[in-house]
Structure 1
Amino acid sequence: MTPLHRNPAFYQLLTDSYARALGLPLVPQAMTVVEASEWLYESAPFAVLAHNTDPDPVFIYGNKAAQRRFEYSWDEITRLPSRLSAEAPNREERQQFLARVQRLGYEAGYKGVRVTKSGQRFIIEEATLWQLLDAEGKLHGQAVVIPRTRDI
């Protein structure tokens, strides 16, 4: 099975749903789908994560920037329940944020505390979360772009 970071259909879902929700491209326009999906995974200067629609959503995608920041490998991050990216005291606030995105389709400018695999706390800033909706409106999960973080 092809991992999602190499799957053109998932790349299209990620980028098309972002463009529909925000009216902006997620990646530079002058690339083929293969080049753009590789750039987004390997070289993007921002973290991108996506989780599925399970009752306890699990990350299904995390680019290299996200893996470095959260200290997980691809295999680890794609088995991680997304709630574990926040410490227990911050999970309720995170859940309210996710619920707002479900109602509104996306939210930009989010700031919150997250935690790495080793337990280091950091702040995500100016994050944008959106619904992973395909062209027919079927929900596949949620994704986030984290352009900036800082240690606490």
Structure 2
Amino acid sequence: MPSFSAELPADLWRRWIAHSAALLDSYRARTGGDLVSRGGGAEAEAERLLTAPFVVVSHGAEADPMLNYGNRVALALWEMNVERLLATPSRLTAEPMLREARERLLTQTAREGFISGYEGVRISATGRRFHISNVTIWNVADAAGAPAGQAATFARWTYL
């Protein structure tokens, strides 16, 4: 069976290998833990992250951050393909009335480096609402240590 990464355009997969390293390294630096087992090279780690049985999603550091990564579980939960994910401002993952609270959460994360234990309601691309819990959100830095956005991971959600 071909790997999930084989379904991605080659140029995107190359970018996601580098971004996966930033996600994994930043998570370790902020939390002291690992999202997936490390080793076997950057491509193997990126494949493990992409196919992990929990959500990993991230956005960039733009003024209105755009989603820039979603693993297989994230894409399924938000009911979108990779192309749509990459064209989506991350604020649209929350309903309009919850966006201010989401922004406060991201500001707190930016200040503290990471937070864990968050829970809230999110919305898929098709409008399906779901409650997420035990979420960890962390600041992502690129290979040079410059801020590169934020990421979140969680394994629990309930459709509403």
Deviations 1:17-36, CA, capped at 9 Å, x for gaps: 00000000111135432122
Displacement of 1:8 in angstroms is 2.9
TM-score by length of 1: 0.92
Instruction: Determine the structure 2 residue equivalent to 1:144.
Output: 152
Q: Percent of aligned positions with the same letter in both sequences?
A: 35
Instruction: Determine the structure 2 residue equivalent to 1:15.
Output: 24
Q: Distance in 2 between matches of 1:51 and 1:7?
A: 13
For structure 2, the 5+ residue unaligned runs are 1-9
User: Does the alignment pair 1:32 with 2:53?
Assistant: no
3-state SS of 1:141 partner: strand
Displacement of 1:53 in angstroms is 0.9
Cα gap change, 1:68/1:5 in structure 2, threshold over 3 Å: closer, same or farther? farther
Instruction: Determine the structure 1 residue equivalent to 2:12.
Output: 3
Instruction: Determine the structure 1 residue equivalent to 2:134.
Output: 126
Amino acid of the residue matched to residue 112 of structure 1? G
Instruction: Determine the structure 2 residue equivalent to 1:99.
Output: 107
Q: Kindly report the root-mean-square deviation, in angstroms, between the aligned alpha carbons of the 2 structures.
A: 1.6
Q: Distance in 1 between matches of 2:78 and 2:35?
A: 21
Cα gap change, 1:140/1:61 in structure 2, threshold over 3 Å: closer, same or farther? same
For structure 1, the 5+ residue unaligned runs are none
* 1:42-81 paired onto structure 2 within 5 Å: 43-81=51-89
Displacement of 1:137 in angstroms is 3.3
Q: Which runs of 4+ in 1 moved over 4 A?
A: none
Displacement of 1:3 in angstroms is 1.1
User: Does the alignment pair 1:109 with 2:117?
Assistant: yes
Instruction: Determine the structure 1 residue equivalent to 2:3.
Output: none
More displaced, 91-100 or 24-33? 24-33
Displacement of 1:135 in angstroms is 5.5
- 1:13 and 1:134 in contact (8 A); partners too: yes
Q: Distance in 2 between matches of 1:39 and 1:31?
A: 10
Deviations 1:54-111, CA, capped at 9 Å, x for gaps: 1110000011100000001000011100000000011111111100001000000110
Cα gap change, 1:63/1:143 in structure 2, threshold over 3 Å: closer, same or farther? same
